Amino acid sequence: MAFIINDVEVTSEPSNLLFDKHIDFIAKQGNDKHDYEYCMTEFLRISGIYWGVTALDLLDELSHLDKESIIEFIKKCQCPQSGGISACEGHDPHLLYTLSAIQILCTYDRLNEIDIEAVAKYVSCLQQPDGSFYGDRWGEIDTRFSFCAVAILTLINKLDVINIPRAVEFVMSCCNADGGFGSKPNAESHAGLIYCCVGFLSITKQLHQLDCEKLAWWLCERQLPSGGLNGRPEKLPDVCYSWWVLASLTIMGRLHWISSEKLEKFILSCQDIETGGFSDRTGNMPDIFHTLFGLGALSLLGHPRIKPINPTFCMPQYVIDRLNIRPQLLDA
Ligand code: GRG
């Protein structure tokens, strides 16, 4: 019996990291404020800045961005009523953008620029009686928001403002029979949400609750003959899953369960040889989201030109060390 596998052809070029081109690509993001794509991505602006800041820092070229104007921008995005942070001035605050803003401020060592107490209050007010979190005042519940909540509070050293046992109970109620996790109880396992739940358990030091053998098996089955990883069965590979899957496996001490060599070739084949940057798949248009997650995955694979990254927080390891944060990681 023959099976059809959804996969892509990978070129063997480029086989090395286009270091200088990536610096150019990342540094140029947002230069043209009238650019169509720039205008259309206003709703996630602060996350876009986090992807760029982190990617450039991993390449040790952070000075290409204007630190002071980024910090001024973040200050303007903190809502004086709720304490939450929005993606852009005039938008509603949300946990997703609050996390990105806090990550940027931690990297710049400038947490003191915003009202941290108000951030902690914003996060704690979004916790529900069953332990889950609303993403914002409109009430959507998702395991992404559980991750954002504990990541934010750990970065600002205020994890004690929420009910942690309840939060853990909710995340564990999203674990499926295949060992994976979805966005809510009984939702399909998905590598992005697995990263959120494994990261959450790493931060709350509850990794013993995982069935690591089963989950790591599901995750390494995401590797396709091209070497790339998909986010769930039958789907195409995408560079961003190199991060979501590899970071989860790294936290569980099982990075060696996939072929690093084949994955590295796949990721490198997604570089744009003209403009720099990484795309989701070989030959597609590059963007800043896939550029961070391509570089992040290469860092986890030990690429010599990229700084070590923390698999739980997706931030340079030196920043996490400076904050004295020790998320739980399992031994290989
Ligand atoms: C600190 C790195 C970091 C993240 C914060 C928000 C968050 C926490 C994580 C998001 C995890 C996630 C859900 C990633 C998946 C993103 C993605 C490309 C979804 C696409 O979903 P589909 O269904 O794609 O369009 P597939 O590949 O399944 O076809």
Using the mean position of ligand 1's atoms as its centre, give its distance from the Cα of residue 122 in Å: 24
User: Locate tokens 């970065």: which residue?
Assistant: 155
Distance separating alpha carbons of residues 59 and 66, to the nearest angstrom: 16
Q: What is the largest CA-CA distance in the chain?
A: 62
Ligand 1 mutation pick, 181, 198, 240, max ligand atoms within 8 A of CB: 240
Using the mean position of ligand 1's atoms as its centre, give its distance from the Cα of residue 192 in Å: 5
Query: Is residue 90 a part of any domain in this protein?
Result: yes
Of the CA atoms within 13 Å of residue 204, those in its CB half-sphere come to 28
Q: Name the residue type at position 97.
A: Y
- Domain count within the chain: 1
Distance separating alpha carbons of residues 281 and 231, to the nearest angstrom: 13
Query: Is residue 1 a part of any domain in this protein?
Result: no
Tell me which H or E stretch contains 324.
Answer: none
Which CATH number fits the domain that encloses residue 146? Answer: 1.50.10.20
Query: Is residue 145 a part of any domain in this protein?
Result: yes
Q: In terms of residue numbers, what domain contains 146? A: 19-323
- Name which residue sits closest to atom 7 of ligand 1, judged by CA: 144
- Name which residue sits closest to atom 27 of ligand 1, judged by CA: 231
- Name which residue sits closest to atom 16 of ligand 1, judged by CA: 192
Q: Where are the beta strands (DSSP E) in the chain?
A: 309-310, 315-316
User: Residue 62 contacts by C-beta under 8 Å, 6 or more apart in sequence?
Assistant: 53, 56, 107
Mean pLDDT of the chain: 97
Distance separating alpha carbons of residues 171 and 194, to the nearest angstrom: 10
Using the mean position of ligand 1's atoms as its centre, give its distance from the Cα of residue 1 in Å: 33
Distance separating alpha carbons of residues 4 and 12, to the nearest angstrom: 23
Closest CA to 105 of 61, 58, 72: 72
User: Residue 104 contacts by C-beta under 8 Å, 6 or more apart in sequence?
Assistant: 46, 49, 50, 53, 70, 74
Distance separating alpha carbons of residues 228 and 284, to the nearest angstrom: 14
The dihedral through the CA atoms of 73, 150, 47, 121 has a sign that is: negative
Distance separating alpha carbons of residues 288 and 47, to the nearest angstrom: 10
Distance separating alpha carbons of residues 141 and 196, to the nearest angstrom: 13
Q: Name the residue type at position 327.
A: P
Report the pLDDT value the prediction gives residue 332, as an integer from 0 to 100: 82
- By percentage, how much of the chain surpasses pLDDT 70? 100
pTM of the predicted structure, to 2 decimals? 0.97
Q: Is the pLDDT of residue 1 over 70?
A: no
Binding pocket residue ranges, ligand 1, CB within 6 Å: 96, 99, 144, 147-148, 192-193, 195-196, 231-232, 235, 238, 240, 244, 314
- Name which residue sits closest to atom 18 of ligand 1, judged by CA: 240
Q: Is the pLDDT of residue 13 over 80?
A: yes
Q: What is the pLDDT of residues 76-85, one digit of tens each?
A: 999 999 999 9
Q: Is the pLDDT of residue 172 over 90?
A: yes
Query: Is residue 328 a part of any domain in this protein?
Result: no
Q: Is the pLDDT of residue 5 over 90?
A: no
Query: Is residue 7 a part of any domain in this protein?
Result: no
Distance separating alpha carbons of residues 122 and 104, to the nearest angstrom: 18
| Ligand 1 atom at shortest distance from the alpha carbon of 236 | 27
Using the mean position of ligand 1's atoms as its centre, give its distance from the Cα of residue 297 in Å: 15
Strand partners of residue 98 = none
Query: Is residue 246 a part of any domain in this protein?
Result: yes
Work out the average pLDDT over 218-243: 97
Work out the average pLDDT over 91-112: 98
Tell me which H or E stretch contains 217.
Answer: helix 212-220
Distance separating alpha carbons of residues 49 and 20, to the nearest angstrom: 19
Is residue 123 within 8 Å of residue 152, measured between CB atoms?
Answer: yes
Burial of 160: CB neighbours in 10 Å, binned 0-12, 13-18, 19+: exposed
User: Locate tokens 């995340």: which residue?
Assistant: 171
Q: Is the pLDDT of residue 2 over 80?
A: no
Name the more confident of 12 and 78. 78
Using the mean position of ligand 1's atoms as its centre, give its distance from the Cα of residue 48 in Å: 14
Of the CA atoms within 13 Å of residue 159, those in its CB half-sphere come to 18
- Supply φ then ψ for residue 258, to 5 degrees: -115, 170
